[in-house]
A and B are shown apart, each in its own frame.
Chain A
Amino acid sequence: MAQPLVKKDDDHDDEAEYSPFLGIEKGAVLQEARVFNDPQLDPRRCSQVITKLLYLLNQGETFTKIEATEVFFAVTKLFQSRDLGLRRMVYLMIKELSPSSDEVIIVTSSLMKDMNSKTDMYRANAIRVLCRITDGTLLTQIERYLKQAIVDKNPVVASAALVSGIHLLQSNPEIVKRWSNEVQEAMQSRAALVQFHALALLHQIRQNDRLAVSKLVTSLTRGTVRSPLAQCLLIRYTCQVIRESAGNTQTGERPFYDYLESCLRHKAEMVIFEAARAITELNGVTSRELTPAITVLQLFLSSSKPVLRFAAVRTLNKVAMMHPMAVTNCNIDMESLISDQNRSIATLAITTLLKTGNESSVDRLMKQITNFMSDIADEFKIVVVEAIRSLCLKFPLKYRSLMNFLSNILREEGGFEYKKAIVDSIVILIRDIPDAKESGLLHLCEFIEDCEFTYLSTQILHFLGIEGPKTSDPSKYIRYIYNRVHLENATVRASAVSTLAKFGAMVDSLKPRIFVLLRRCLFDSDDEVRDRATLYLNTLGADGAMDETNEDASEFLFGSLDVPLESSDEPFDISSVPREVKVQPLAEKKAPSKKPAGLGAPPSGPTATVDAYEKLLSSIPEFSSFGNLFKSSAPVELTEAETEYAVNVVKHIFDQHVVFQYNCTNTIPEQLLENVTVLVDSSEAEEFAEVASKPLQSLPYDSPGQTFVAFEKPQGVPAVGKFSNILKFIVKEVDTSTGEAEDDGVEDEYRLEDLEVVAADYMQKVGVSNFRNAWENMNPDSERVDEYGLGPRENLSEAVNAVINLLGMQPCEGTEVVPSNSRSHTCLLSGVFIGNVRVLVRLSFGIDGEKEVAMKLARAPAAQQVNSGKLREFGGKTVAAREELRPDKRDKKRKRAGVREGAREKSRETALEVKFAWKKRKGRGRSDGICEELFMGMNREVACNLAFLTINEKGKARMEGWCDGDGLLLLGERRWRGEEEEEGKGSTLAFTEKDGWIEERMRWKGKMDGSSWMYGDEEVEEQHRVEKDGLGCRFDEVVPVIEGPIGEGKGDLGSPDFRVSSN
C-alpha cells in the first residue's frame, strides 16, 4: 500500500498520519486499472488498484455504465493469475461491481471452472460470487453443483452454498425448495456454523408448513444443537410453534416451556437472553412462568457489558407494560441504572420504573429523574415526559408533584419538540384531571412569559381563551395575556387579542376592563392586531350598540370556520360555482369520533349562522310567506358516515311552519342523481301537515345540494313529533372518463334515519348579561317552582348537562361547569321561547351518598308546556307511561332494529323496553352486523346502566369495549340499581381487560333459563374469559346516529342504531 501520493491537505501536518488515499481521483484510478490488461500481470500492483477501486466504491462514488463495464471486463482478465491474494480480491471486486445480466456471461465460465476446482476455497468463493450475480436460467445449470456443495466436507463450502440458498430462496424459491434433503443432511454437520446456516435455510424452506416446522422444532429441542446462534434460532422457532398451537392446548402445561426454561441455564449469554425474552413474550404468560426469566434478566441488569444491560432493561420495559408487578423485584437494580453512562439504558430504566412504580414511590422517583434530566438529549427527555404524562393519568392524586416537575423542566433549556411535548402533556393533564386545571394554566402562563417559540405561544393563548374564562378567577390570567400584546411579535400579539376577546365574551364582569385593553391594541403597529381589536370591540358591543347578542359573539369567537381555506393550483373559475347556495360546511361530514388531541380544539358549535339560513329560505318563493325565521337547529345526520349518499337535515322553525332542509351529498363518482326529493311520513307527528316540497334538480358527485320540505303547524304551539324519511331520486350512470351522464335514468330510493322535532327546537339560546337583574325584573307572579327526582347519576355534572341539553337553553355566568365532587350546584339558564317569551330558569341540584340526584327548578315566566312535560320524561322516578306505537310503525322499526319476534312479544307485557342494535366497523374494512339487546321491565336509568351506556352532556351515548364475532364486549362494571323491591337488585356484571384477555364476571340471584335470566333466591356467580387476540377491534366510542336525547321516556332508548368508531 506504499503508493506515493501527493499530500494536499494542510490540516494533516503529521507525516505519519496522512492517508494513502489522499487526493485519490476516480479518473486516475480508472487509468491505473489498465494494468489489469498487461500480458505480464503484477499481482501486487493489481491488488493495490483493486483496493483503490474498493475505497472509491465504499466512499459512495458511482461508476457510469461504461466505466463499470470497462473495469469489469478488465477484472475478468485477472482470472489468468494464479496468485491467491489477487484471486480473492477479484471475487470481491466482481461482487461489488454487480455486473448486468448481459455481462455476467463473460465470467460465468471462469466461475464454473472455479466451482469445480480442487481448491476448496475457490469452490466456496465461486459459489458465493455466482449466486450473487446469477439469474434463474443460469441457476438451473449450476443447481447440481450447489446441491453437492451443501453436503461438502469443507464447512466453508457448505456454508457458502447454504447461505447462497437463503438468498436465492427470495428470487427462485421453487429451485431452492428441491434441496431440502441435502439441507437436512447438513443439519447433522459437526461444524457449528454449518448447522446454524442449515437450520435457517431449512426453516425458511418449510416456513409455510406448520406441521413440518413443528416436527423440526420437536426433534431439535430434544437433540443437541452446538452453535449458540443456531440455539437462538431454535428458540425463536419454538416460540412460533407455541403461538400457533396456543388455540389447541387449552389444558395442561404449555408445550416446550421446559425447553425454554432449560435454555436459561445455557452457557452462552445470547441463548440465555433469547430464552428469557421468549418467555416474557409468551401469550398469557403466568407469573410462575415469568419468574425464572425475570431473575435472569435481573442478573443481566448489573452486567459489565452495556449491551447486556440494554437488552435486559429493554425487555423488562416491555414486560412492565403488561405485568408491572412481575418487574418490581428489579426496581432497585434499575434505579442504579438511572446513572448509567449509556443514556439509552438510563432512559429505558426511568420509563420502566415509571411504569412499575407505585403511588408511594412517585416522589422519590421524581427526585432522581430531576438530576438525570439535565444531562440527556432532547429525544430521551421526550420519552420521559410521555412516561410521566401516563403516570400522572394513572395516579391523578399525584398530579401536584408531577405537574411541578413538568413546569420545572418547561423552564429549562430545550428544543421545540421537547417543549411541545411538555406543553401537550400539561394540556392533557388539565383536560383529564379537573383539579390540575388552575395550577396547570398558571404554569402555561408563566411559560409564555418567556417563550421563544411563536407556535407554542399562540397555541397556549388559544387554549387559555377556551379554558381560562371557565375558572373560578379568570381575571388573574389577563395580566399574562396582555403582557404578550406589549412584548411579543405580531403573530403572538394577534393571538393575545383574540384570547382577550374570548375572556370578554365569556365573563361579563371583566368586559369593561377588556374593552379598555382592546382599545389600546387599536394603536398597534401591525395591521392584523389592529383589525382584530376593532373587530372584537364591535362584536362584543363596546361601542354601545348592542345589536349583536352574546350568542352571536361567542359563536363568532368560539365557532370554527365555515369554509376550509383551501389553496388550489388551478385558477378560480366562476362558472364552476354551483348556483344553489351552499350552506353545508364540509367539516360536518366527518364522523364525530375522535377526541381532540393535544392543545384543545375549539368546541364545535353550530357553524352556519341564522342569517345565512334566513337569506337562503327567503329566496325560495314557496317559503317567503312564512314570516321571520325563529330558529335553525344544528345539522342532524340522517345517514352513517361513508355511505353512498350523505344526508343531514336542518330544522327551521317559523311561527306557523317548520321547514326541513335536507343537505345531500352524492359520494359515488359514477352516478348523477336528478329530481331528488325526500318523502316524509308524518303519521307520528299529528299536528304537522305537509304544505310544500322543493326538489333538487340535479346532484352530481361530491357537490352538495339541498332539497326542502315544509310543514304547517298550529301557530305558536311547540308541536313535537317524529318523521320518517325516504330519499327519492332518478339515478343516471356517469362515464367517469368523460364526465357525461347517460340519457336514461332509473328511479330509486334510499332510506334515511328518522327525524324528530323536540321541544328544545322551539327554544333559542339567548344569554343575559346580568342574570340577577333580569330575574328580579321579571314579574314574580309568573314564577313557577317544581321539584324532581332524577334518579341515580354518576355525578352532578352529568345531571346538569343532561338537563341543560333537554331544555335547550343558554347557561349563564359559567354555571354549567360543576366543580368536581361538589354535593350541590346552582345553574342559571336563559332563553327565548317561541312567541318571543323570555324564559329564565334557576336550577338547584343536590346529590346524596347513593348518587340520587334531586333537582329544584324555578322559572320565570311560565313556559309550562315545554318544561314540565320534558322533565317528567327525564326524571328517573317519574318516567311517563309507555306510549303505544301504531302497529305499522312497529313493523318498520322492528325491521330496522332486527328485533326478534319472541322478544317483542315478551316485551309487550312489560312497562318499559330498551333495544339496541349496532353496526360495527372492524379495522379498515367494515363488518355490518346487527346485534340487539333487550332490557325489559326496568326504567331507563337501569337499562342504560346495564347496557354500559354513558350519556354525555350532549345526550349522546358513549361505550367502551371490544367487538367480538357477533356483538360488543363493553368494558366496565355495572351494578343493578333498580327500585328497592325490584328483582335482581345488587346483581353485578363486569368486563375487565387484563393480560390479553377480556374477563367477564357476573353475579346475580337466579338462574339462566335457556338464553334469558330468571331471577330467584339462589346466588349465582359466573366468570368467562375471551382472548383479546380473537376479538375484532378495540373501540372507545359509540355514537348514536339518531337525533334527540336518549330515552324519551317512551320505553325506547332513542334510536337503535349506533356508530362504532374503532381505533
Chain B
Amino acid sequence: MILAVLFANSVGNILVERFNGVPAEERLHWRSFLVKLGADNLKGVKNEELLVACHKSVYIVYTVLGDVSIFVVGKDEYDELALSEVIFVITSAVKDVCGKPPTERLFLDKYGRICLCLDEIVWTGLLENTEKDRIKRLIRLKPPTEF
C-alpha cells in the first residue's frame, strides 16, 4: 500500500498531500515527520537524487525536484524499491507537465494537471500507470499510443 504522497515547498509548506489508509488523526504526525525529514536531509541534494528512510515497518523515499520536495510513503509490498519506481514516475510526470524542474510558482500554475497525473499514477494506494507519455495522454483522456 502506498500510504502517502506528499509535495512540499522549500520551506516546508504542503502543496499536495494524499493519504491512503492513514487515519485522519495520524496524518498531522506524518506531515510534520516528513517535512522534518526533508528539512534535515534535503539541503544540497541534487534534483531527483533519491533518499530513503524507514520508520518501523514503513518505508519512505523522497527527493527534491526544483523548489519542490516529494515524499512517497509505503508499506508491505511497497518497499523502498517499489517506492523508488513510484517516485520516478511522479518526478518524470511533473517534469513533463512543467517542462523543467518546477519553481514553486510553476508547480502551482500547473496544479490541476499535476493532480490529474497523480490520479493516474497512484490509485487509492496502488501504483497504476508508470509511463509518462501514457500518463500525458491519459490526463487528456486520449488513449495510449501503444493501443
CB-defined contacts of A229 to chain B, threshold 8 Å: 82, 85, 127
Q: Would you call A918 an interface residue if the criterion is a C-beta within 8 Å of the partner chain's C-beta atoms?
A: no
Q: Is A54 touching B115 in the complex (CB atoms < 8 A)?
A: yes
CB-defined contacts of B80 to chain A, threshold 8 Å: 307, 310-311, 314
Interface residues as binary, A1-28 with B (CB distance below 8 Å gives 1, 0 otherwise): 1000000000000001111110000000
Q: Is A156 touching B147 in the complex (CB atoms < 8 A)?
A: yes
The residue on B at minimum CB distance from A310 is B52
Q: In the assembled complex, how far is the CB of residue A88 from the closest CB belonging to chain B, in whole angstroms?
A: 5
CB-defined contacts of B105 to chain A, threshold 8 Å: 16-20
Q: Would you call B14 an interface residue if the criterion is a C-beta within 8 Å of the partner chain's C-beta atoms?
A: yes
Q: Is B84 touching A59 in the complex (CB atoms < 8 A)?
A: no
Determine the distance from Cα of A270 to Cα of B77 in the docked complex, in whole angstroms.
Answer: 12
CB-defined contacts of A95 to chain B, threshold 8 Å: 119
Interface residues as binary, B90-129 with A (CB distance below 8 Å gives 1, 0 otherwise): 0000000000000111001111100110010001101111
Q: Is A19 touching B129 in the complex (CB atoms < 8 A)?
A: no
Q: Is A121 touching B50 in the complex (CB atoms < 8 A)?
A: no
CB-defined contacts of A208 to chain B, threshold 8 Å: none
Interface residues as binary, A44-66 with B (CB distance below 8 Å gives 1, 0 otherwise): 00011011001100111000000
CB-defined contacts of A155 to chain B, threshold 8 Å: 144, 146-147
Q: Would you call B17 an interface residue if the criterion is a C-beta within 8 Å of the partner chain's C-beta atoms?
A: yes
Q: Is B123 touching A51 in the complex (CB atoms < 8 A)?
A: no
Q: Is B54 touching A58 in the complex (CB atoms < 8 A)?
A: no
Q: Would you call A89 an interface residue if the criterion is a C-beta within 8 Å of the partner chain's C-beta atoms?
A: yes
Q: Is B14 touching A92 in the complex (CB atoms < 8 A)?
A: no
Determine the distance from Cα of A308 to Cα of B53 in the docked complex, in whole angstroms.
Answer: 12
Q: Would you call B29 an interface residue if the criterion is a C-beta within 8 Å of the partner chain's C-beta atoms?
A: no
The residue on A at minimum CB distance from B60 is A344
Q: In the assembled complex, how far is the CB of residue B127 from the closest CB belonging to chain A, in whole angstroms?
A: 8
Determine the distance from Cα of A901 to Cα of B146 in the docked complex, in whole angstroms.
Answer: 82
The residue on A at minimum CB distance from B19 is A60
The residue on A at minimum CB distance from B134 is A156
CB contacts under 8 Å to A, within B47-81, are 49-54, 61, 77, 79-81
Q: Would you call B40 an interface residue if the criterion is a C-beta within 8 Å of the partner chain's C-beta atoms?
A: yes
The answer to whether A89 and B82 touch (CB under 8 A), given A191-B146, A310-B52, A344-B54, is no
Q: Is B123 touching A269 in the complex (CB atoms < 8 A)?
A: no
Q: Interface of chain B, helix or strand or loop or mixed? A: mixed
Q: Is B130 touching A193 in the complex (CB atoms < 8 A)?
A: yes
The answer to whether A84 and B14 touch (CB under 8 A), given A92-B116, A311-B79, is no
Contact of B108 among A19, A128, A307, A345 (CB under 8 A): A19
Q: Which of A54, A59, A120 has the most CB of B within 10 A?
A: A54
Determine the distance from Cα of A311 to Cα of B50 in the docked complex, in whole angstroms.
Answer: 13
Q: Which of A159-167, A285-293, A328-336 contacts the other chain?
A: A159-167
Q: Would you call A122 an interface residue if the criterion is a C-beta within 8 Å of the partner chain's C-beta atoms?
A: yes
How many chain-A residues does the 8 Å CB contact rule pick out? 60
Q: Is B17 touching A60 in the complex (CB atoms < 8 A)?
A: yes
Interface residues as binary, A215-234 with B (CB distance below 8 Å gives 1, 0 otherwise): 00000000000000100110
* Chain A contact residues, CB within 8 Å of chain B: 1, 16-21, 47-48, 50-51, 54-55, 58-60, 84-85, 87-89, 92, 95, 119-122, 125, 128, 132, 153-156, 159, 163, 166-167, 191, 193, 229, 232-233, 236, 269-270, 273-274, 305-308, 310-311, 314, 342-345, 377
Q: Is A270 touching B112 in the complex (CB atoms < 8 A)?
A: no
Residue contacts A-B, CB under 8 angstroms, 10 given: A16-B103, A20-B111, A92-B116, A166-B126, A229-B85, A233-B77, A306-B50, A306-B51, A311-B81, A344-B52
CB-defined contacts of B141 to chain A, threshold 8 Å: 84-85, 87-88, 119, 121-122, 125
CB-defined contacts of A48 to chain B, threshold 8 Å: 112
* The 10 residue pairs across chains A and B that have the minimum distance between CB atoms: A51-B112, A121-B141, A84-B141, A307-B84, A310-B52, A1-B109, A58-B16, A120-B143, A20-B108, A270-B81
The residue on B at minimum CB distance from A128 is B123
Determine the distance from Cα of A345 to Cα of B80 in the docked complex, in whole angstroms.
Answer: 12
The answer to whether A58 and B140 touch (CB under 8 A), given A166-B126, A193-B130, A307-B61, is no
Q: Is A58 touching B115 in the complex (CB atoms < 8 A)?
A: yes
CB-defined contacts of A120 to chain B, threshold 8 Å: 143, 147
The answer to whether A54 and B104 touch (CB under 8 A), given A60-B14, A307-B52, is no
Determine the distance from Cα of A122 to Cα of B141 in the docked complex, in whole angstroms.
Answer: 7
CB-defined contacts of A153 to chain B, threshold 8 Å: 147
Determine the distance from Cα of A193 to Cα of B41 in the docked complex, in whole angstroms.
Answer: 34
Determine the distance from Cα of A941 to Cα of B126 in the docked complex, in whole angstroms.
Answer: 64
Q: In the assembled complex, how far is the CB of residue A947 from the closest CB belonging to chain B, in whole angstroms?
A: 41
Q: Is B49 touching A314 in the complex (CB atoms < 8 A)?
A: no
Determine the distance from Cα of A474 to Cα of B99 in the docked complex, in whole angstroms.
Answer: 74
CB-defined contacts of B51 to chain A, threshold 8 Å: 306, 342
